[in-house]
Amino acid sequence: MTHTDPQLHGVDPRVAGGRLTVDLDALAANYRFLAEQSTPAEAGAVVKADAYGLGTGPVVEALVAEGCRKFFVALPEEGLAVRASAPEADIYVFNGLFSPEAAAFYREGRLLPVLNSQSDLSIWEAHGWDDEDAPRPCALHVETGMNRLGLTPERAKIVAQENALTGALTPRLIISHLACADTPDHPMNRQQLESFQALGALFPDAESSLANSAGIFLGGEFLCDVTRPGVALYGSNPMNGTVNPMQSVASVHARIAQLRHVPAGATVSYGATPVGRDTLIAVTAVGYADGYHRSGSGAGVPLRTAQPVGSHGYIEGRRVPVLGRVTMDLTLFDVTDLGLDTLQVGDFIELMGSNLPMDELASACGTISYELLTSLGHRFERHYVRSGDHI
């Protein structure tokens, strides 16, 4: 089936400059694989930032169908969006409580805050909602070396002692976050695990969660009770220096707006990049306003001095290089070797997908796949594909 809700499809396909296709079968397969790798732990799913840019509703529906019952977001508004597609799930909100007024959002969606500080603890104790059989359900984040969010070890010990007496809060989950899990032999991994195990033991009635996408592949004790796969669900390789075990989920295509010949010695785009031969250019209607990063330009950006090769497109079985600088709404590709008779205005060039993995594009742009996915703009025509449908 293909989703038909026009709000999911973005711009009308007759006028869209680009197309984003999300393969929900591949997403489901990735979840099943990560759940298997997580055994005996339960696999949740991180769907913050609009499911990493791919659309909360369709992504969450597909994951619920695969049996996912724990979701993680950054902000309560994201949690409310998840709740619409997962009425029975546990939904945890990472970034805590900013004010007493924020508690109303959690109550509305029966969201579970991740408490990161004494302020969070005080607000939730005073303003949180009660479960049928337990007061103020929540998660606690303990700091083990990331130094981003989380209760210090000293504060966590005090909280454990005080809450054992008062029972004011019901911690359902104790979490921390690995800083270097994508590098398996990094000593930080073992240090964090040992610190987390000691702090988790202070809350014997709560489940524990430490492993992100990369942490799942550390296996063993790192799996704890619940894993939190994120970027791997969407097709990115979670581990450095290994073959990617994940299926490609997102593909991005740009529409050709114009085909033009330029002679050798002419210049193209901002900064006047010279071309060394008679060149056929495909001008496509996607640029950095759509999340196709300027840093992936073929020339004229600082990254090209450190990494000479820029981004590529893929069309008619060939890779074609970006020519000159990516601009806000347009990107140029050198399609000379394909010939004018092969292409026409309205054709699509793949920017990212099964032929151009997102991790490769990220490397060409000097960034990571997380940033690519979450940068995808709202000017794309969107397709959600399942069960053999092809666009």
For residue 295 the two structure tokens come to 């840093």
Continuous H helices in 17-152: 24-38, 48-52, 56-65, 76-85, 103-109, 118-127
Question: How buried is residue 210: exposed, middle or buried, by Cβ count under 10 Å (0-12/13-18/19+)?
Answer: buried
Is 69 annotated for ligand binding?
no
**Looking at this protein, which amino acid is placed at residue 31?**
Y
Coil, strand or helix: which one is 118?
helix
| DSSP letter (8 states) at residue 13 | T
What is the distance between the alpha carbons of residues 327 and 269, in angstroms, rounded to a whole number? Answer: 8
What is the distance between the alpha carbons of residues 373 and 53, in angstroms, rounded to a whole number? Answer: 5
- What are the catalytic residues? 48, 270
What is the distance between the alpha carbons of residues 274 and 295, in angstroms, rounded to a whole number? Answer: 18
**Looking at this protein, which amino acid is placed at residue 349?**
I
Q: What angle do CA 383, 380, 366 make, to 5 degrees?
A: 110
Which helix (H) or strand (E) segment holds residue 164: the answer is helix 153-166
Coil, strand or helix: which one is 388?
coil
Q: From the CB of residue 47, how many other CB atoms can be counted at a distance below 10 Å? A: 29
Cis upstream peptide for 137 (omega within 30°): no
Is 328 annotated for ligand binding?
yes
Paired with 220 in beta bridges are: none
Per-residue H/E/C for 204-257: CCCEEECCCHHHHCCCHHHHCCEECCCHHHHCCCCCCCCCCCCCCCEEEEEEEE
For residue 313 the two structure tokens come to 């497109």
Binding positions are: 148, 328
Binding positions for substrate are: 148, 328
